[in-house]
Structure 1
Amino acid sequence: MDRASFNLRSAAVELAPGRAPQRRHRRDVSTLLTAWALTLGLAIALLSGASVAAADTGAASADQSAGASTSDTRTSGKPSEKSSSRPTSETGDADAADPASEDDESSVPVDDAAPEEQAGETDGATEPITVVEDGSSTPAEAPEAPEVVEEPDAPTPSVETGEATPRAGPATTDRASAATATASEPTESWWDTLVRDVRYTFFNKAPTLSPTDNIEVAPGVFTGKLNGQSNNGLTLNYLIKQAPTMGTLTIDQEAGTYTYTFDPSEFDKDTRDSFVIVADNGAEARRPGLFGVIQLVMHNIAIGLGLSQRDTVDSVFSVTARMVDTDSGDSEDSEDEELKVSIRGTGFYGNLSNKKYWAEQNHADNCLLMSILMIEGQFTGQVPTRALEEEIVEQAKRTPSVVDPSKMMYLGEGSEDGVLPADAAALLKLRGNAADLRYFPSDDEDATYYDGLDALDVVSKLLFEGHGVITGVNNQTIWDATEKEGSPGADRVNANHGVVVIAVDTHNGRVYINDPGVSGGRGLAVPLGAFMWAWAPDAFETITADGAAPQSYRPTVAGDLVTVA
């Protein structure tokens, strides 16, 4: 009866609506709790392992220091009879067996005293032997040759006679110095080690690489700066992930530089080579063995949750060769051409925080004027405002153009012409900034693919050094690539817009700009290919600036003009 009632009750439970979903829900909750418990357990195990390892490291350091101090005390506490007649260094026996080495190191000549001295040491004799200036050795009388007693707290007196004592003194001094240095070295506490490991595992910051200055220091020898940043306070190590095939590669860890060496006779215009260098900021905190496996699992979980970042970043270096015309004319003679080898590495250059100096323009065709204000904001920390915009617009309206002095730099919204690049560079100088206008190439020839690479290298280095950069681009190409406000049928061929470049990420193929011509242009990320295409029409026009605090221009007379030297 009971069994039947139990079966009926079980059937009722199985047929009752909502029962099965509740069971599955309970199973899901239990599974989630189990996963969290497992994660917490792994974290506790990792922390415990780190603390135990740190404690063991501290204890080992303490034992080593104590052992060094004890060894030093024993050495300095030996009787003076042995100190005055034989070396206290560990290599003393070997040196005594080699008379030639003793003769080389001794500054006092000895004739037949060495065999007698060795015999005295073997027999345990305590009678000292004195070496006189003529080279003969005679036993010294007891009253005239007092013993030299070494005190543990007193330095060993210097003895000019004899052969073994000058060699024993430095050995004792070296041991004392080593023990003192060992005792004075700061040891990392277990708490500091624990905090370091936790920060690395759960809250690590990824390292960065920004290679620059790839210079040929000698034929076939290139050197460059890696400019790596650890970003987490730990030691940064450089590793060769992929070696070159056409040359050799070495890394100077201390200087943070690399050297690529190749045979120029093996290179021609079609030669290509590459290598990869990795920056690692986690080797100092990674644990070995089982604790290391647990740490790796927790570190990857933290990365997946967005709490931590990876501990390595790599830079791909491309080696290219091309023929360059060295003649100023149009000659195509091969004698006027030379092979030029270039090395370019991927990395991140610039400062994304400069996007806070973005402001949208309120006048037509004054993008370069707003770009000047944004550049000055990077130098002064002042965010462009509408009042500052009106001031610089007024200044440009009353400053003659350096290209056509019969006109002003800015003619206002009614004209179709904006501010010319040369006038923008001159206005930057007039406002107290150092400025320069560049093109790639510098002559009137059409820009090529390699000219674009050269321009990108120059801009990347300028950004790394903290300079301001304004580029002339085609606005529609930029906006099409970023899904902003590209207009159908608009000009997508010519350079018609000025933007501020704040960062270049060649590793991920992004260029970050402050674009005053569009809402949402603050720190706008543009694909590298689209940016290069938009930048190319006017020979990669680039204005560079490095300035001091500008003086705001406020005209006091309606007809006042500003002259440019």
Structure 2
Amino acid sequence: MPTLRLGRAARVAVLAACIGLAGAPLVAGCGAAPPATTAATASVTTSATKAVAAQDNPSSTTATPGRYGNPAAAARYWAAQSLEDNCGLVSVADVVGEITGTAPSERQMLDLAESTPSGTNPGPIYAPRNDPSHSGPNAGIELADLVVLLDHFGIKSEMVSATEPDRTGLPALEQYLAKNRKIIAFVNSSVILNADDQRTKADHFLVVTGIDTDTQIVHLNDPGIDHADEQVGVATFMTAWETSDQSIVVTAAPI
């Protein structure tokens, strides 16, 4: 599927409508996508095999004091979302790419999510593309289903929030990144973009790829904008992240 380059106004509309945490409704509208193919399924299965090997043999990274993660390496797996409510799917694809070296396409993720039962709700993780729910309050996917999708690729992960304060917060993110663990954060998109929209509820998934404590910058692979390695100040990121009680999905430590 061609990558969509969005202007600022369109990006704001996409981000503000994107993804909801379990029990948190939001509004989104979607377009059509191509049907599933056998080739897409085969490619997804191959990625799962690679993930097991990659987690058993993690690539080494050079540690630099005050810098965590490798945003330059992660940037190659960024992709833009082309629908209003599939940033969670594209973020999962990004993480799969970072771990296995091969990211599934947006189309492959749509096919997978439409055919995989949700771990929290009746029906599939992502509603069929002609389903009216894509323009209603239940559009997108649940945070818990990111774990289900990653598991399909052989990648173990877990949800963490401020209910476990020793496992979240900026210091925890730094340590996850230092250990080559991948992070999908649930944030408020308007705060990230400094846009004029609601700023009290989380509505968007993105991948945290690096933190630089010297410059106070957080590096993001954000599927709702038109480039990889978006950089925002720590204060901005924390404000956006607090709207979800610092909810993340983080992959297991490489063996």
Find 1:473's aligned residue among 153, 176, 187.
Answer: 187
Which residue pairs with 1:389 in the alignment? 106
- Per-residue deviation, 1:440: 1.2
Superimposed CA distance per residue, residues 487-530 of structure 1 (whole angstroms, 9 cap, x where no aligned partner)? x3x2211110000000011221110000001112x100011000
Equivalent-residue separation in structure 1 for 2:208 and 2:149 (angstroms): 19
Cα distance between partner residues in 2 of 1:495 and 1:525: 19
Letter in 2 for 1:401: S
Kindly provide the amino acid, as one letter, of the partner of residue 440 in structure 1.
A
Question: Deviation at 1:436?
Answer: 0.7
2:160–2:167 Cα contact (<8 Å) kept = no
1:538 pairs with 225, 234, 244, which one? 244
AA paired with 2:162? F
Deviation at 1:435?
Answer: 0.8
Structure-2 separation of matches of 1:390 and 1:412: 13
Which residue does 1:408 correspond to in 2?
124
Partner SS state of residue 156, structure 2: strand
Q: 1:434 aligns with which of 131, 143, 156?
A: 156
What is the rounded CA distance, in whole Å, between the counterparts of 1:381 and 1:532 in structure 2? Answer: 29
Alignment of 1:233-382 (within 5 A): 347-353=66-72, 354-382=74-102
- Report matched runs for 1:42-57 at 5 Å: none
Aligned-pair CA distance for 1:382: 2.2
Separation of aligned partners in 2, 1:523 and 1:389: 19
- Highest Rg: 1 or 2? 1
TM-score normalised by L of structure 1:
0.31
CA apart distance, 1:456: 1.3
Secondary structure at the counterpart of residue 543 of structure 1: strand
Residue in 2 aligned with 1:527?
Answer: 233
Does the C-alpha gap of structure 1 residues 395 and 461 become closer, same or farther in structure 2, counting only changes over 3 Å?
same
Q: What is the CA-CA distance between 1:380 and the residue it aligns to?
A: 1.7
Aligned ranges 1:57-68 → 2 under 5 Å: none
Which SS does the other structure have where 1:402 is aligned? coil
Query: For residues 363 and 441 of structure 1, what CA distance do their matches in structure 2 show?
Result: 32
Return closer, same or farther for 1:364/1:412 CA change in 2, 3 Å cut-off.
farther
User: What is the RMSD of the two structures over their aligned residues, measured on CA atoms?
Assistant: 2.4
Deviations 1:274-304 (A, max 9, x none): xxxxxxxxxxxxxxxxxxxxxxxxxxxxxxx
Cα distance, 1:453 vs. partner? 9.5
CA separation of 1:410 and 1:430: change in aligned 2, threshold 3 A:
same
Tell me if the contact between 2:151 and 2:157 (Cα under 8 Å) persists in the aligned partners: yes
> Contact 1:379–1:547 (CA<8 Å) still a contact in 2?
no
Q: 1:544 & 1:537 partners in 2: Cα distance?
A: 18
Deviations 1:427-451 (A, max 9, x none): 1112211111111124xxxxxxxx4
Separation in 1, partners of 2:124, 2:152 = 14
The residue number in structure 1 matching 2:50 is none
Report the structure, 1 or 2, having the larger strand content. 1
* Structure 2: distance between partners of 1:464 and 1:496: 27
Pairwise mapping of residues 440-519 of structure 1 onto structure 2 (< 5 A)?
440-442=162-164, 451=165, 454-480=168-194, 486=195, 488=196, 490-519=197-226
Mapped to 1, the partners of 2:63 and 2:93 lie a distance apart of: 30
The structure-2 alpha-carbon separation of the partners of 1:507 and 1:432, relative to structure 1 and needing over 3 Å to count, comes to same
Could you tell me how far apart the structure 2 residues matched to 1:510 and 1:361 are? 24
Letter in 1 for 2:124: M
Code of the residue aligned with 2:123 in structure 1: it is K
Contact kept? 2:79, 2:90, Cα under 8 Å: yes
Q: Evaluate the alpha carbon distance shift between residue 494 and residue 540 of structure 1 in structure 2; reply closer, same or farther with a 3 A threshold.
A: same
The runs of 4+ residues in structure 1 deviating greater than 6 Å are: none
Shift of residue 372, structure 1, vs aligned partner? 0.6
How far apart are the structure 2 equivalents of 1:398 and 1:383? Answer: 19
Q: Distance in 2 between matches of 1:228 and 1:427?
A: 29
Q: Tell me how far 1:383 sits from its aligned partner.
A: 4.7
Q: Which runs of 5+ in 2 are unaligned?
A: 1-60
Amino acid at match of 1:510: I
Q: CA deviation at 1:352?
A: 1.8
Aligned residues: 187
- 5+ residue gaps, structure 1, are 1-226, 231-314, 316-346, 443-450, 481-485, 549-565
